[in-house]
Every structure is written in structure tokens, then in C-alpha cells.
Chain A
């Protein structure tokens, strides 16, 4: 499912280039949440921010953080990917995600369609090892655990733990046959 945030903002009468403040974030969240009634289990929700410049921390907290948390909970798990994020939006999302992760002691990360300033395709506090695995999977599209063990040189038990963690963060997809997929 792809949601064009610019179009959605216009529908919600938010005309400017920027999406700012908590009330606007809440409005956007509620609108997107209503659309998620139709999402299939395991589907990736792409939020396209084309023609949106600034999204501030309040908007991010009320909208993106809640969508990402929702994707992990409930009966219908889904995946989230951000597209066409501006530089400042990326900086603001990263700061919010890092604060959230530190203070809640619960990591929050999101995959992106475009390359970010961390030279990878995600925003949030992943470790170097997690980053390597996510990137390796992105390039290869799908892998089994043994491929990643060979790539990292780490013990299988350790790799299995990292993959489980990344799957529960919804930054990679695990199929029932043991194959891992990039979003």
C-alpha cells in the first residue's frame, strides 16, 4: 500500500510545504489509520513524502512513531517504509527515534526507499552489525540464515538472535520457510 502524504495533507487541508505540530500529526495518523483497515498481513506500507519539506518532532511523534509501533502490534502486523524524505525530515526523524529508543529502552527504526545520510537505507539506531545485515539483505533481496552467517563470520546463534531482533523491529521480513526478505 502506498500513501502519498502530500495528497493526504491536501485532503486534510494542510496546504503548506511543511507538516508541523502535534494536532496535524494526530490528524494525519487518524486518516492513515483508517486506511490501514485494508492492509494485508505482512504487506509493506510505503509513506511517500514527495513535496513535503519539513516534518517536525511533534508531527513525527504523533504520526510516524505511532504508525511504526502499530506495525509491530495487533493482529495484523505490517511493515513500514518511508520514501522521498527530505534532509531535515530525516534529521528530525533520526533524533526522535534515538530519543525514543533511549528513553523507552525499546528500539525504533524505519526502512527508507532512498539512501540516507548514514549511507544506508534506514533511519534509527541500529548497531553496525545490524546495519551490515540489513544492507546485505537489501542488496540480495532474500537470504537464509546460513548466508548471513557466512557473510558476518559470526556464530549461528548470534546471527539468529540479530535476525529475530531485526524481524521484530519490522526492518526485515521473515517467511515461514526460514527465508529472510528485504522490505
Chain B
């Protein structure tokens, strides 16, 4: 193996917008690299973690071999281990951290939902969704510590259920979910990330007569109107948007080469609150991040 096949990943794992720099490297990773050097990463949030996992899975599917992760800083390694990132079996992890250095599942356990695979088959998926909701309800007091009320917990149960169902109903692939609360300075965040590398929103609407001008506009329609690729009309994403709006949170939804973000916490009367982007680097499937900050 030569050094030229090691690709050093930039420290762009802090926000979905930031992670675009890593997505831009995907072609390079899939065509030339066999190792990813993560030594520059100082922080990784749930959406970026899941998207890295999807890159690894695509690599494994296309090449038949696992992409090796090297140079992982200890704190990142501990976090990824704690989130069951390595349990997915997607990456080659010959550089294991000493057992003694790994984070114990104690108080920290309550602030996360570990990475869970959402199957693409209805029956299994329904079982997994039930399990995720069960764990979420047990840990909600910690995950939603800064926003806690029965109402907010119930809102999140709806959001988790609606988005997870979209995976087996529309993506034709399995996906992953992860959730975490954390603080940066005085600000607290709770992030729910769900992603798959399936057919994406554009292809899902392939035979549908919904008119749209651009891929991002189709995503916008999917979250603002009850359109559905499978039925006469659908409710899921619309309901997610309505709930996030009530909570004054943000949605980042990316599919294929387009994204839409909503920023209800910054919405001022009369201003636009939806931000559409087209012509991004292609990234298969659909990835969604729901965030609250406060």
C-alpha cells in the first residue's frame, strides 16, 4: 500500500453545511482511497457521523472491501465507539483503542440514541421503530433536558416515527438513526439525524406528476405540502415540518444533489425561512437533521 491511497479528511464534521466538503471528496474516496485519515477531526456531530457511515457503506458495496479509518483522535474514537459506529461493521478498524480508554455506558448513555439501523422491510422496520421509541422515552429526560416537557417528548416521538417510516416506504434501502444532546459553550443542542443511501426524493417521485422547477424545489414541496410518491397524498414530512416550526428548530434535508434548510428560530416576520440549494455534489439517498438549540 502506498501513501497516495490515504486520503486525509478535513475537519468538516461540525455542521451539515460543513460536511459538504467531505461529500465533495466522495468520488475521490470511492475511486482511489483505501484509507481515510481522520487525524484532523476535532469534533463530529450526529449528521456528519451518519453521513460518514453512509460513505463507508457505499464504499463497501461498490468495492467489496472495507475502507480503513486511521489516525482517529482519541476523543473522536471514544465518541464513535460510544455511538456504536464501529458495530455497524462498515469500516476496517484494525487500529483499535485499548478497552480501558473506551467510554463507559454510564450517565453519558442517557444523552444519546446510539446508531440504529432502520431496515428497508416493513415488518422489521416497525419492530425497530418501536424499540427506538422505547429507548427514547426512557432517555428523553436527559436527551431533551433543556427543552423537557411531555409535549416536546411526544413531538419527537412523532418526528422519529414519521422519518423512519419514510426509509422503508420510499428509499428502497435501509438507513440509520442517531440522536444526541451536547453543549458548545453556553449553547445546548439536541440533534436527531436519520439518513439512507437509497433512491432519494427525486427518483422516488420519478413516475409522479408533481411539477417542480429544480430538485431543491421538489424537496421543498415534500416538506411543505402533503405530496407523496406512493399515495394520493402523504403527511409525514409535512407533519415533521409543522412540529419543528412549533419547536422553533431547524431542518436540514439533503437528497441527491440538492438540499433545503429551514431555520424557524431565526425567522422574522415577512422573511424567507427556507433555503434551497441545487447543484451540490451528488450524495445518494436522503439525509435529514432536526436540531434544536437553546
Write the nearest CB–CB distance from A146 to chain B, whole angstroms.
Answer: 41
Task: Give the number of residues in A that approach B within 8 Å (Cβ atoms).
Answer: 26
Within the assembled complex, what's the spacing in Å between the Cα atoms of A172 and B238?
A: 31
Question: For B233, what are the chain A residues with a Cβ–Cβ distance below 8 Å?
Answer: 99-100, 103
Mask, B141-161, CB within 8 Å of A = 1, is 000000000110011011001
Task: Tell whether, in the assembled complex, residue A88 and residue B158 are in contact, meaning their CB atoms are under 8 Å apart.
Answer: yes
Please tell me if A116 contacts chain B, counting CB pairs below 8 Å.
Answer: no
Task: Tell whether, in the assembled complex, residue A16 and residue B162 are in contact, meaning their CB atoms are under 8 Å apart.
Answer: no
A21-29, A43-51, A124-132: which lies at the B interface? A21-29
Within the assembled complex, what's the spacing in Å between the Cα atoms of A61 and B239?
A: 13
Please tell me if A38 contacts chain B, counting CB pairs below 8 Å.
Answer: no
Known: A54-B154, A88-B155, A88-B158. A99 touches B235 (CB 8 A): yes
Task: Tell whether, in the assembled complex, residue A16 and residue B130 are in contact, meaning their CB atoms are under 8 Å apart.
Answer: yes
Task: Tell whether, in the assembled complex, residue A87 and residue B158 are in contact, meaning their CB atoms are under 8 Å apart.
Answer: no
* CB contact between A86 and one of B125, B133, B154, B236 (< 8 Å): that residue: B154
Task: Tell whether, in the assembled complex, residue B126 and residue A23 are in contact, meaning their CB atoms are under 8 Å apart.
Answer: yes
Known: A54-B158, A87-B154. A95 touches B232 (CB 8 A): no
Q: How many A-B residue pairs have C-beta atoms within 8 angstroms? Tell me.
A: 75
Task: Tell whether, in the assembled complex, residue A99 and residue B154 are in contact, meaning their CB atoms are under 8 Å apart.
Answer: no
Interface residues of B (CB under 8 A from A): 122-123, 125-126, 129-130, 133-134, 137, 150-151, 154-155, 157-158, 161-162, 165, 226, 232-233, 235-236, 238-239, 242
Identify whether the interface residues of A are mostly helix, strand, loop, or mixed. helix
Please tell me if A138 contacts chain B, counting CB pairs below 8 Å.
Answer: no
Task: Tell whether, in the assembled complex, residue B232 and residue A53 are in contact, meaning their CB atoms are under 8 Å apart.
Answer: no
Task: Tell whether, in the assembled complex, residue B242 and residue A20 are in contact, meaning their CB atoms are under 8 Å apart.
Answer: no
Write the nearest CB–CB distance from A127 to chain B, whole angstroms.
Answer: 21
Known: A54-B157, A56-B161, A99-B235. A20 touches B133 (CB 8 A): yes
Question: For B226, what are the chain A residues with a Cβ–Cβ distance below 8 Å?
Answer: 99, 102-103
Question: For B232, what are the chain A residues with a Cβ–Cβ distance below 8 Å?
Answer: 103-104
Write the nearest CB–CB distance from B78 to chain A, whole angstroms.
Answer: 32
Task: Tell whether, in the assembled complex, residue B123 and residue A57 are in contact, meaning their CB atoms are under 8 Å apart.
Answer: no
Task: Tell whether, in the assembled complex, residue A54 and residue B239 are in contact, meaning their CB atoms are under 8 Å apart.
Answer: no
Please tell me if A96 contacts chain B, counting CB pairs below 8 Å.
Answer: yes
Within the assembled complex, what's the spacing in Å between the Cα atoms of A104 and B146?
A: 41
Task: Tell whether, in the assembled complex, residue B122 and residue A23 are in contact, meaning their CB atoms are under 8 Å apart.
Answer: yes
Please tell me if A84 contacts chain B, counting CB pairs below 8 Å.
Answer: no
